[in-house]
Amino acid sequence: MTTAGQVIRCKGGLIAAAVAWESGKPLSIEDVEVAPPQKDEVRIKILFTSLCHTDVYFWDAKGQDPLFPRILGHEAGGIVESVGEGVTDLQPGDHVLPIFTGECKECRHCLSEESNMCDLLRINTDRGTMIHDGKSRFSINGKPIYHFLGTSTFSEYTVVHVGQVAKINPSAPLDKVCVLSCGISTGFGATVNVAKPKKGQSVAVFGLGAVGLAAAEGARVSGASRIIGVDLNPNRFEEAKKFGVTEFVNPKDHNKPVQEVIAEMTGGGVDRSVECTGSIQAMISAFECVHDGWGVAVLVGVPNKDDAFKTHPMNLLNERTLKGTFFGNYKPRSDIPAVVEQYMNNELELDKFITHSIPFSEINKAFEYMLRGEGLRCMIRMDA
């Protein structure tokens, strides 16, 4: 029976959505109505989703204006169920990854080869409705439930703007490649697209969570000879070896700034560094630890709003380069399908990022794992 053009309701006891009703409280499995896609929208049946730190941050609602009730989730893979008016490059049955940022293909950023920061669909954490009409496609007993990042993948079905949907190879396993829709692409792309280490060069990665390890994976794939992991948690080093990290530095083990430690280790500094923590001090250290003359530092982590980056101008005048990146400089619709192909061609390893797997009914366990710092990505199976 087709569901195109109809409101989808929970039937036969099937789980519909995990709703965050208030800050920091366990998600509640609810029967949610999902309206049909409107102009430039796509309705997707989510098959697999995973939990990212960003979901936890906005669920906890610290240091921000809370928006509840809300359906979180933004790393996922699924199949197009129906399309709205004006959608021509997707059709029901297509395998897709919904992405937290977008590509309208019309604005100056989308038309530029140098940017992926779409004017229309750039990440917006405050918006809880669809762009087309300012309304939510989710409701419970007529009461709207807010969207999250335009994706809301903690639901069996979700509605997403077509510009935030990457069509991928239908042979790709969605339970693996879905992690490419956020953190893994962010870290991997920061290295291969922005830092661009040459074969045999040295790379320092600050922060060995999932994004940092993806950056290390990018360095490994690029042929880096030394990959130095920097983290305050020594328990992460053993896991980091799987991603190509060759050496580990814990700033707490030294009585001097970590950038000086790295400079001594490498004869003047590393060739490239990638910062994945959001700590302003880590950002400064990542920049100051690269070699003068050719060193490139790339900032990935998001700092606190009141942070200020401070370094002596001579660090720049001595020909060090400082760059920032967003989503690894990938354009969601144009570039992510090719990253999926890298995985399919065994050029990129994803399985090692997935350390847990649980049924959707136990989604709160994923939050517990992340809050305890256990593992990297928890795969959530929507049909279980």
Report the C-alpha gap between 352 and 103 in whole angstroms. 29
Contact 131, 120 (CB under 8 A): yes
Quote the tokens at residue 61. 């609602």
Quote the tokens at residue 128. 């809880």
The one catalytic residue among 178, 182, 276, 289: 182
Question: Cβ contacts of residue 353 below 8 Å, gap of 6+?
Answer: 179, 184, 210, 213, 214, 376, 377
Q: Determine whether 291 is an active site residue.
A: no
The one catalytic residue among 30, 49, 109, 118: 118
Q: Determine whether 52 is an active site residue.
A: yes
Q: Determine whether 272 is an active site residue.
A: no
Report the C-alpha gap between 113 and 108 in whole angstroms. 10
Measured CA distances, 186 to 46, 61, 190, 208, 324 (Å): 22, 23, 6, 14, 12
The one catalytic residue among 43, 81, 104, 333: 104
Q: Determine whether 107 is an active site residue.
A: yes
The one catalytic residue among 81, 95, 110, 156: 110
The one catalytic residue among 30, 41, 49, 54: 54
The one catalytic residue among 107, 246, 311, 381: 107
Contact 279, 301 (CB under 8 A): yes
> Which contiguous run of DSSP H or E holds residue 158?
strand 157-161
The one catalytic residue among 10, 33, 70, 74: 74
The one catalytic residue among 41, 43, 49, 52: 52
The one catalytic residue among 236, 289, 377, 378: 377
Write the single-letter amino acid at 65.
Answer: D
Q: Determine whether 10 is an active site residue.
A: no
The one catalytic residue among 122, 127, 356, 381: 122
Cis upstream peptide for 37 (omega within 30°): no
- The count of other CB atoms within 10 Å of the CB of residue 1 is 3
Contact 80, 94 (CB under 8 A): yes
Pairing state of beta strands 41-50 and 75-83?
Answer: antiparallel
Report the C-alpha gap between 202 and 273 in whole angstroms. 8
Q: Determine whether 378 is an active site residue.
A: no
Q: Determine whether 75 is an active site residue.
A: yes
The one catalytic residue among 30, 33, 41, 75: 75
E strand map for 12-107 = 17-19, 28-30, 33-34, 41-50, 75-83, 95-98
Q: Determine whether 54 is an active site residue.
A: yes
Report the C-alpha gap between 197 and 160 in whole angstroms. 35
**What residues are labeled active site?**
52-54, 74-75, 104, 107, 110, 118, 122, 182, 377
